[in-house]
Structure 1
Amino acid sequence: MVKVVFVHPDLGIGGAERLVVDAALALQSRGHSVNILTAHHDPGHCFKETSDGTLDVKAVGDWLPRSIFGRCYALCAYIRMIYVALYLVFFSGLVYDVVFCDQISACIPFLKLKRTKVLFYCHFPDQLLTKRATFLKRLYRGPIDWLEEKTTGMAHCVLVNSDFTAETFAKTFPSLSHITPDVLYPSLNFAAFDKKVEPLGDLLPKNTDVLFLSINRFERKKNLGLAVEALGKLLENPALIKRKVHLLMAGGYDDRVTENREHYLELRQLTEKLKLNDHVTFKLSFSDAEKLTLLSNCTCLLYTPSNEHFGIVPIEAMYMRRPVIAVNSGGPLETVVHEKTGFLCEPEAQSFADAMREFVTKKNLSDKYGKAGHSRVVSSFSFKAFGNKLDRIVKKLRKS
């Protein structure tokens, strides 16, 4: 048995959080001891396993600010994670062999104060997730970017979520050329998706013939406006309006996050501008049961981010036998097979609209691609394979 502690910035609902939860479940199911420490955990906005007692979760340091007058989010996140690390080392009383940390590497030097093994999972270099449009922003980010590279190199083991992220890691951190990250693809716990699907209820307008579904956080980098604009292009053909085509924009939404609130309003304004109010529905956050219902009943998933590090939602959709239309960059290049499990398109409204038209006009295409997608996920992205590899990694770390 290996005693493993996970440290994570904010255990809400998102792809990174899903991976952390799955990693914890995989290790726990193999007899390892698992604890999770996080700077924030809201039982009303989290994955069920973190609130129903399945996993041992403790939130510490949530009293620390998330921003300074609406700015310095990165700095505050680093401080909060360092606090979590210090709490673990000096005050938690936990006995552990390996620490699994992700997203923020600044805590690694503090985790190593106890001479424990540290595994760092790099979803994507943090410094690439923000723009530096002004001199002050570049001045602010300079030390943070240096610290990210320096501390990432201090981990005993570095994992990444895709070959795309591994290549980006090498380009972003030139001083870490001696480190070759191991790829550990995120996976699906198939049992969680094999549950009984609840009826749609009032999730959608009645009598929808073709349902396009977008699932992503309400953040600008997810390029959600592309889905709305593509629908507008698609419905420029009057004949298609009669088919009762609908788009449901569902995603993680946290009222504490300014960007979530702002971007949701921007999308509503875009929908009104394109006169698509009768064809677009917004769903702010959802339960696991509602996600299964939406995936089961949609015609196709629209996945709009460019250069996404991996993207777990396309995997979920394909397992539920739904095809995927995604941007032809980043993680989807490793998950979606063009013209077999969906379409890989340019990040342009017309390109997406052309692919969407295929599912509107070809009756059996959704089922055909959906079946192929399910087979691909089962063979390449199983929870068992994910857990077995992670099990080997933590055992090797403890012995090293």
Structure 2
Amino acid sequence: MTQHTASLRPWIPELPVVCVGDWLPTSVFGYLHALCAYLRMIYVALYLIFFSGVEYDVIFCDQVSACIPVLRLSRHRKKVLFYCHFPDQLLTQRKSALKKLYRAPIDWLEEKTTGMADMILVNSQFTAGIFKETFLGLREVQTDVLYPSLNTHTFDQQSVEAQGLEGLLPEGTSCLFLSLNRYERKKNLGLALEALAVLRSSLPPGQRAGIHLVVAGGYDDRVTENVQHYTELKDLAAQLHMEDCVTFLRSPSDSLKVALLRGSAAVLYTPSREHFGIVPVEAMYCCCPVIAVNSGGPLESVADGETGFLCEPTAEAFSKAMERLVREPQLRRDMGQAGRRRVRDKFSLQAFSDQLYGYIVRLSQ
């Protein structure tokens, strides 16, 4: 049961998904997004409890905890499992007194309602630590880690032949690096460009000519930061004299993304203190090594020296790892195969399902 029509395309076609309250606003004149999200989820919870007629044993609540008190109103009290991706209050800024005043009750409500769940799961050990640092009143509450899964079917059904890279890359490209993230400043995409510049300076001219970087990511021209940061990155490439060495893509299709992952020597994952980050998992499943910052979720998803490299967030550290992969093609292949095995073992839908089923059985007893 969801509040978004976009969620009506489930991973499992046989799984019925009901959309409730999609007519409710997501904001008021571009403001009050959090409040609207809370109200929409409360509406969904009210519908589930009092009008849906659905029989259930456990309620799985994702991301927004404000509806948990409503879910507890059921005449036949059922257990509630809450999956916390990251504390919502850490995902927004408070630059004005008015914003601080607006967020104060919402932040209080987030902590109180999260604590009402019968079981709390988080998406990484990193998020578990942030959870306890943020929700001081819940420090004694047990949280278990359930790593997000990858819908591998989406990647398996995409055809590289159907969406190739011809015409996208310069002729003579022999080694492709890929940065895959949203066009947001906190993603530190400029690090990928700076690392490429350092790498090119360390290679002989003949080898340097075949190195290319694709910066691809989610982009919405209605989002000011997306527009501004895209321009900033283009300007940075010009300042580094690398206009011919970098290709920028905005909101690439799934098939193109898979083709890029399969055709790259490595993914450069540049955010620091990322909650979990699904991109490294996607890359590893596509047999693509990952070069990531040594903090946050990648510490758990990437096996350093086995499926990629974990580095300090500096151009020099990233370029050193990139150079190893340029000079050692066999290492690229070995890391790629190791990455695919790691995803199948730890981050597949089957692994996620088995672990989640265990939690649900434990909760329903």
TM-score normalized by the length of structure 2: 0.87
- Whether contact under 8 Å (1:222, 1:304) holds in the other structure is yes
Letter in 1 for 2:187: K
Q: Which residue of 2 aligns with 1:250?
A: 216
Q: Which residue of 2 aligns with 1:214?
A: 179
Q: Which residue of 2 aligns with 1:351?
A: 317
Q: Distance in 2 between matches of 1:388 and 1:335?
A: 18
Q: Distance in 1 between matches of 2:351 and 2:16?
A: 24
Aligned CA distance change for structure 1 residues 249 and 61 (closer, same or farther; 3 Å)? farther
1:131 partner SS: coil
Q: Distance in 1 between matches of 2:108 and 2:80?
A: 20
1:128 matched to 2:111:
no
5+ residue gaps, structure 2: none
1:368 matched to 2:334:
yes
TM-score normalized by the length of structure 1: 0.80
Superposition map of 1:149-164 within 5 A: 149-164=111-126
Q: How big is the shift at 1:128?
A: 1.7
Q: Which residue of 2 aligns with 1:279?
A: 245
Q: Distance in 2 between matches of 1:119 and 1:184?
A: 12
1:105 matched to 2:62:
no
Q: Distance in 2 between matches of 1:223 and 1:61?
A: 36
Q: Which residue of 1 aligns with 2:46?
A: 86
- Whether contact under 8 Å (1:41, 1:59) holds in the other structure is no
Aligned residues: 359
Superposition map of 1:38-49 within 5 A: 38-41=3-6, 49=10
5+ residue gaps, structure 1: 1-35
1:317 matched to 2:305:
no
Deviations 1:130-167 (A, max 9, x none): 23344333333222211111110011111011111112
Q: Distance in 2 between matches of 1:226 and 1:341?
A: 21
User: CA RMSD, aligned part only?
Assistant: 2.7
Aligned CA distance change for structure 1 residues 54 and 220 (closer, same or farther; 3 Å)? farther
Which of 197, 213, 235 is the matching residue for 1:232?
Answer: 197
Which of 165, 168, 177 is the matching residue for 1:204?
Answer: 168
Aligned CA distance change for structure 1 residues 87 and 391 (closer, same or farther; 3 Å)? same
Letter in 1 for 2:139: S
- Whether contact under 8 Å (1:124, 1:309) holds in the other structure is yes
Q: Distance in 1 between matches of 2:166 and 2:61?
A: 40
Aligned CA distance change for structure 1 residues 197 and 130 (closer, same or farther; 3 Å)? same
Q: How big is the shift at 1:196?
A: 6.2
Aligned CA distance change for structure 1 residues 256 and 97 (closer, same or farther; 3 Å)? farther
Larger radius of gyration: 2
- Whether contact under 8 Å (1:341, 1:370) holds in the other structure is yes
- Whether contact under 8 Å (2:200, 2:208) holds in the other structure is no
Q: Distance in 2 between matches of 1:383 and 1:159?
A: 17
- Whether contact under 8 Å (1:39, 1:81) holds in the other structure is no
Q: How big is the shift at 1:85?
A: 2.4
Identity %: 56
Q: Which residue of 1 aligns with 2:103?
A: 141
Aligned CA distance change for structure 1 residues 76 and 196 (closer, same or farther; 3 Å)? closer
Q: How big is the shift at 1:211?
A: 0.9
